[in-house]
Amino acid sequence: MDLTKYFENPKFVKKMKNVGKAALVLVVFLDLFSPRHPEHIHVESDKWVGFYAFFGFIACYIFIVVSKKILGRIWLYKSEDYYD
């Protein structure tokens, strides 16, 4: 199996990026039709269209910033031979 012919082809990569962008739009669009039955709603935010898109975006941002930029940089990161 040789995947280089795909991933080293700029056209294919560009097409993949477009597919990705289309998917982002699609999942938010499809949320308009979510049934939102009251017995399946546990949180107020479940009623807002596209809330979980925003939620995922922010969650990932918080993970990267809090881990790497805050905890890692000021406290947890040590050189690799720290315990030797």
Partner 1 sequence: MINEIPPAFIYIIGALAIPFLKGALKKAWLVAIPIVAFINLLYIKKGVDIDTTVVKFTATFLDQQLIFGRIDKLSVGFAFIFILASLISIIYALHIKDDAHHISAYLYVGGALGVVFAGDFLTLFLFWELMAVGSAFLVWFRRNKMAIEAGFRYILIHTLGGLILLAGIMLLYNETGSMAFNAIDPDSKAFYLIIIGLMINAAVPPLHAWLPDAYPQATVPGAIFMSAFTTKTAVYVLVRGFAGTEFLVWLGTIMMIYGLVYAVLENDIRRLLSYHIISQVGYMVAAIGIGTDLGLNGAVAHAFTNILYKALLFMAAGAILHMTAKSKLTELGGLYRTMPITMILYMIGGLSISGFPLFAGFVSKAMIVSAAGVDHRSIIMLVLLFGSAGTFLSVGLKLPFFAFFGKDSGLRPKEPPKNMLVAMAITAFCCIAIGVYPAVLYDILPFDVPYHPYTYEHIVWTMQILLFTGVTFFYMLKTAAPKGYLSLDTDWFYRKGIKIFLWFAFKPVRKTNDFIDDADVNVIEKQTMNVATKAKWFDIAVVDGIVNGVAWANRLIAWLSHQIDIYIVDGLINSAATLVNINSGFWRKLQTGSVQSYALIMLAGVILILGGLIIFI
- Which of 12, 14, 34, 74 is close enough to bind partner 1 by CB under 8 A? 34
Give the containing element (helix H, strand E) for 47.
none
71 touches partner 1 by CB under 8 A: yes
Among candidate residues 21, 52, 22, the one with its CA nearest the CA of residue 34 = 52
**Are the CB atoms for 37 and 54 separated by under 8 Å?**
no
CB 68, min distance to partner 1, A: 6
Tokens 């040789």, residue located: 2
> By rule CB under 8 A, what count of residues binds partner 1?
48
Residues 65, 68: Cα–Cα separation, whole Å: 6
CB 84, min distance to partner 1, A: 9
Q: Which stretches of the chain bind partner 1, using CB under 8 A?
A: 1-4, 7, 20, 23-24, 27-28, 30-31, 33-36, 40, 42-43, 45-46, 50, 52-57, 59-61, 63-69, 71-72, 75-80, 82-83
